[in-house]
A and B are shown apart, each in its own frame.
Chain A
Amino acid sequence: MSYSDLDEILEGCRRSNRSSQYQLFSRFYNYAMSVAYRYVSNTEAAEEVTNDAFFKVFTKIHLFEPRDEGGFRAWLRRIVINTAIDRLRSSINAPATQEWRADMDSPMESGIVEQLTEEQIFSLLDQLSPAYRAVFNLFVVDGFSHEEIADTLGISIGTSKSNLARARSRLKTLLADELDLSYNV
């Protein structure tokens, strides 16, 4: 489907045409679910986040200025992330207490985790606390800066860095356990 097709679908969505909305939903359902699943790590919760996000998309579609499909993807991604963060906000803010120190980051040997499957990766992510998982996703996967993370989550920049370092450390430990390797963190 070309961008002109997407543009027509978006135009139909602006007119609240249910068929256009269905096409847009069908086209980006997996994408939105993938983003939501990274934050909530629960299929049922991810479905609710996705539905909430699409509801916002369809009711705020007039705010989106058409550029290209990548632009819409980014817009949808941001909406899904914000919706997931709103859902997790209470649990995200709770454990964020320790400020970041430079020695928290530690090097990692490359090439030891290539053999992990996608399911194993998600199971590792599931074992992070919501606060660590959110910061890790925002920084590593979604490319947010610490300033943006702090603004989005309502925490300090130092806490964002601390949570990221701890998330990395925790993931490395989990990876070592998963791969059964002696691993110096």
Chain B
Amino acid sequence: MKDFDQFFRDRLDGERPFSRRDENWRQLSRRLEAFDSGIQDARPVSNIRRWTTLAWKVAACAAAAATIWVGVQNYSLRRQNVLLNELLTQIKAQQTNEPATPATQISPLEIAAIPDMQTHLLSSQNDMPLQGMESSVASSKSDSRSVPSENVSLYKPAPISPFAAGNALPVQPTITLPAQIDENVGKQAMVESARPATPAPQEGEMSEVSFVWEKLPIPDSILSRPITTTLAYGKASVPVLPELSIEAAKENPPPARLLTKPVKDVSRVRVGIQAVAGTATPAESGVSWHKGQSLTAEIRVWNQIWLGASADFVQFEIDADNNPDRFHLPEQMNPDPPGGPVSHHQYDLVRLQSEQRQRRFAAGVRYTLPVRGRITPSVQVGYVWAQMPASFVQYEFKKKPHGGGHPNPDPFDNKFFIRKTENHWEQNICRFGAGADYALGRWSLGLTAQYDKNFTNKDPLFDMLSFKLGASYQF
């Protein structure tokens, strides 16, 4: 056992060469400067922690996007419910105020206002017999809902309404039960037409509206509302209509199925998430690419005009061997005394390092070019507010070999200065951009090039040429 341990002790206890000594020293010296300046917790962010933080950022962005999506869905559903309630109320009013009206028709405008309903109604029109069918009740998909055909008569062939004319489709024929319908049959139809989750309506509650419900995407919560009781079915509310025979219905076969599918109604709101990569413009030596992510939200206000807002979170590093103009060293931090010829200075600035983060919030307008096809180019212009959180900027000075006319005996006598920049906001930034979207249904993939022009030249905010690649979802 001793041999075993001794072997590992000899092999592992040696000193091995490792690289990156100077890089680690620079990182450590920054911490020491921060410590000496009284900033105790100025610990560097390790790469592992940085990736963990990035993962949490991505998760937070995804959670925020999901929350927004659920919120919009919820709002859309509530809006549909309200419209459906209004629709049912109107149907009820028509039934009550216009008993002589042969058919209870849903306003085309109302149908158009409810995209899903429109879709279902139109599709249901395809499923239901339109003219001359001997029993539109029996034509329902559910066999259990059938009513003896001899007790059901159809109203006269429906006229073409303006709405339906666009699709070359007759208006939905109204199903009207004859007044002399047998009470037992009415009871049967009433019970069988109720949905399973809907409480069985009482006797005499059934009306033709029930059949419309069968084709609507109405939640049970609505169907179970007392409206069913107000739409009372009975001899008083059902108009007496001329009876059509089955033979007459057979002579008028139903028209061809609808070929034109209803257009999906797309919301005006669009949200997206993008990856951002940008570079300082004009190129600055030692300034890395700006990398980060972006969240966008847009609303279409008119045809191809979109109003939008975006939040870009980018970060970049500066590791320069000169002093970029936007990171000028305060005079009091210069190791050489102010004034005097440069040849008498004892120190040279040899390195400037900093990790910078920026949050760019923009509001603007985007115009999509009216181009046919899946690819939609667009141009945009906006105004940007940039937040620059507090950061550290390290200046490293190296003593000249013969600074000030005297030889320097200590080659390690470098001086490090740490400057902490305060959190501040920058304005006067305009954004110009152009891009293209590739539509995939409600989703779209987009690539955008943007140029942020900072019209205030004295602050440490570079002009940035950035590229955004990401996905958007239109509700």
A residues at B contact (CB < 8 Å): 16, 18-19, 21-23, 25-26, 29-31, 33-34, 37-38, 43-48, 50-51, 54-55, 58-59, 105, 107-108, 110-111, 113-114, 116, 118, 121-122, 125, 136-137, 140-141, 168, 171-172
Contact = CB atoms under 8 A, between A and B. Distances in A.
Contacts of A43: 18
Ranked nearest first, the 8 interchain pairs of A and B with the lowest CB-CB distance are: A19-B412, A110-B3, A33-B18, A108-B4, A140-B5, A121-B11, A29-B21, A141-B12
A113 B11 CA distance: 11
A18 B28 contact: no
Contacts of B302: none
B52 to A, nearest CB: 13
A18 B34 CA distance: 13
Interface of B: 1, 3-5, 7-9, 11-18, 20-21, 24-25, 27-29, 31-32, 35-36, 44, 46-48, 410, 412-416
A25 B414 CA distance: 14
A45 B48 contact: yes
Nearest to B3: A110
A157 to B, nearest CB: 18
Contacts of B8: 121, 136, 140-141, 171
A137 to B, nearest CB: 7
Contact of B15 (A31, A47, A116): A31
Contacts of A140: 5, 8-9, 12
Contacts of A141: 8-9, 12-13
A29 B24 contact: yes
Nearest to B22: A26
Contacts, number: 100
Contacts of A105: 1
Contacts of A23: 412
A58 B32 CA distance: 8
Nearest to B8: A140
Contact of B16 (A118, A125, A171): A118
A51 B16 contact: no
Interface of B is mostly: helix
A132 B416 CA distance: 42
A122 B12 CA distance: 8
Nearest to B14: A34
B7 A114 contact: yes
A51 B27 contact: yes
A51 B1 contact: no
6 contacts: A19-B410, A26-B21, A44-B47, A51-B24, A141-B9, A141-B12
B370 to A, nearest CB: 53
B7 A25 contact: no
Contacts of A19: 410, 412-414
Given A18-B414, A51-B24, A30 B1 contact: no
A12 B29 CA distance: 15
A90 B356 CA distance: 32
Contacts of A48: 46, 48
B12 A137 contact: yes
A60 B80 CA distance: 69
A25 B307 CA distance: 56
B427 to A, nearest CB: 39
Given A43-B18, A51-B27, A141-B8, 8 more contacts: A22-B414, A23-B412, A34-B16, A45-B48, A58-B32, A108-B4, A113-B4, A140-B12
A16 B16 contact: no
A50 B35 contact: no
Nearest to A45: B48
Contact of A168 (B4, B46, B410): B4
